[in-house]
């Protein structure tokens, strides 16, 4: 059974979402214009996401740092199901422009493999990053299923020793029925499409037990997300943030980027 999302949920600015979007005494037309604007932005963000997704996994590395400030760990980006490195490029560019060292990883064509296998690859990637830049910990930002990969690494593969913060954006901790489309189309090739169905044994095991000490975990949910509704993102012990956008907007929107920066403390 999905948990109820407690209200009010804080926005990135520390203001309850319900308050930020206007109270009952505001003019209905003004709220209607706000919803229309959200829909317009959502459409533009979806187009931008699809454009970046089409870049595939051949996105060039933007820099190869040899050492960084230990007080500002590098960030590892993990894309989601049917995603590519290109789908995270807007977020990567913004982080780099703000002085953050960023890494991303090729998880194969459209990220179809078993989440546990992907988490093992992330474990190897993190070890390589720590050796390269000579720091003790990294931060991880995962979009959609990418958040589950990061969470599995932190909870089940000893990643808590190497991760300072985990930010999950639109991550189906309780599963998503949109995975049915994945099962119907690529289910024979994709174990992960079965793993992210609501009620899956994988998700039940992943939620079992508290979050490891020493790792700050954040979940950023989108109010208008039909792929992963906000109530499916709730993770006990994590800081929950909600934005009035859709699933694709989570890696495109300026508002969400501010949430990410606040979570990372940069």
In this structure, what are the phi and psi dihedrals at residue 163, rounded to the nearest 5 degrees? Answer: -120, 130
- CB 236, CB 264: distance < 8 Å: no
Across all residues in the chain, what is the average pLDDT? 80
Parse the chain into domains and list their residue ranges: 29-264
Give 157's pLDDT tier (boundaries 50, 70, 90): very high
Q: Which residue has the tokens 């991760």?
A: 163
pLDDT digits (tens, 9 = 90+) for 86-132: 778 889 989 999 989 999 887 866 667 899 999 999 999 999 999 88
Q: Quick one: tokens of 176?
A: 């998503």
Task: Work out the average pLDDT over 162-168.
Answer: 98
Q: Using alpha carbons only, give the angle 12, 207, 81 rounded to the nearest 5 degrees.
A: 70
Contacts 24+ apart (CB under 8 A), 7-10: 9/221, 9/230, 9/240, 9/241, 9/242, 10/240, 10/241, 10/242
pLDDT digits (tens, 9 = 90+) for 205-225: 999 999 999 999 999 999 989
pLDDT digits (tens, 9 = 90+) for 35-90: 444 444 446 665 654 555 455 445 555 555 555 766 789 999 998 886 677 778 88
Check whether 140 has a pLDDT greater than 60. yes
Which fold does the domain 29-264 belong to in CATH?
Rossmann fold (3.40.50)
pTM (2 decimals)? 0.81
């Amino acid at each position: 059974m999905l948990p109820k999302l407690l209200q009010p949920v804080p926005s990135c600015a520390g203001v309850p979402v319900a308050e930020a979007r206007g109270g009952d005494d505001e003019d209905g037309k003004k709220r209607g214009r706000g919803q229309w604007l959200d829909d317009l932005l959502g459409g533009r963000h979806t187009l931008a996401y699809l454009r970046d997704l089409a870049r595939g996994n051949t996105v060039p590395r933007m820099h190869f740092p040899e050492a960084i400030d230990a007080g500002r760990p590098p960030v590892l980006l993990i894309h989601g199901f049917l995603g590519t490195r290109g789908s995270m490029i807007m977020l990567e560019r913004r982080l780099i422009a703000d002085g953050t060292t960023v890494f991303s990883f090729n998880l194969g064509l459209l990220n179809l493999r078993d989440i546990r296998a992907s988490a093992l690859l992330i474990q190897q990637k993190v070890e390589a990053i720590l050796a390269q830049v000579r720091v003790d910990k990294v931060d991880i930002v995962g979009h959609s299923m990418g958040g589950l990969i990061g969470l599995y690494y932190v909870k089940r593969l000893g990643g808590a020793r190497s991760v300072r913060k985990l930010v999950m954006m639109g991550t189906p901790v309780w599963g998503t029925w949109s995975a049915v489309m994945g099962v119907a189309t690529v289910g024979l090739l994709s174990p992960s499409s079965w793993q992210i169905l609501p009620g899956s044994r994988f998700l039940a095991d992943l939620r079992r037990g508290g979050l490891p000490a020493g790792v700050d975990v954040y979940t950023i949910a989108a109010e208008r997300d039909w792929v992963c509704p906000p109530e499916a993102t709730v993770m006990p012990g994590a800081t929950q943030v909600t934005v009035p956008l859709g699933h694709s907007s989570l890696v495109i929107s300026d508002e969400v980027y501010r949430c990410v920066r606040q979570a990372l403390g940069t």
